[in-house]
Structure 1
Amino acid sequence: MTTRQRNLLMNGLFLAACAAILLFLLQAPPETTRPLPHDQDHERFMTMKRKEAEKFCDACHGPQGVAPLPETHPPKFRCLF
């Protein structure tokens, strides 16, 4: 195999891999997790980092809070804060 043929083969394999990755990403399901509401209650958390702001969630959204989260709420690691 000549150098030219080897280069063409490698370029073709690279393009095929890029196309496969692109197709995989295009088939991803749409995002279903809603972002944090941008209202007066949540406004102060918008400027905080996620880990810092998460410390305050249970005060209102815990089982005994003012607005407990529904059973269908996604787990914390899916939070789009």
Structure 2
Amino acid sequence: MRIGKKDWIFIGIIAAVFLIFYVISGEEKTKRVPLDDAHKPSYELFKKTGSKMEADKGCPACHNTNPGGIPFPAKHPVKPKDGPMRCLFCHKLKLAGVQ
């Protein structure tokens, strides 16, 4: 069986797709949620309910733009004004067995 020109084009396209996936799969840049006393309630709520949306409900108590709150960094991509905060959509919890 001989590999023709069309076969080599197909192999080249597949190789290009794999190369693109490899190039864009760099190291994770999003910070993880610290495993400290301030974030302990979020971890416990997530372990209890298994819902990130439920665990997210505790974030606005500390992370907000109100006086005394921890402001978002200047380069933070999303700063919710209205509606629920979805911190755990990007930020991951440090769970047992997960790096």
Q: TM bucket by the smaller chain? A: 0.5 to 0.7
Give the TM-score, by structure 2 length. 0.54
Identity of matched residues, %:
28
Q: Distance in 2 between matches of 1:74 and 1:50?
A: 20
Query: In structure 1, what is the Cα distance between the partners aligned to 2:53 and 2:91?
Result: 12
CA distance in 1, matches of 2:77, 2:33: 12
Provide TM-score, normalisation by structure 1. 0.63
Cα distance in structure 1, aligned partners of 2:7 and 2:37 = 54
C-alpha RMSD over aligned residues: 2.8
The alignment of Structure 1 onto Structure 2 pairs a total of residues equal to 75
The aligned counterpart of 2:75 is: 72
Q: 1:22 to 1:59 in 2, by over 3 A?
A: same
1:1-81 correspondence runs (5 A): 13=10, 15-28=11-24, 29-47=26-44, 48=46, 49-64=51-66, 65-75=68-78, 76=86, 79-81=90-92
Question: After the TM superposition, which segments of 4 or more aligned residues of structure 1 sit over 3 Å from their partners?
Answer: 8-12, 15-18
Q: Which has the higher helix share?
A: 1
Select the structure of larger CA radius of gyration: 1
CA distance in 1 between counterparts of 2:31 and 2:77 reads: 10
Structure 1 residue runs of 5 or longer lacking an equivalent are none
In structure 2, the gaps of 5 or more residues are: 79-85, 93-99
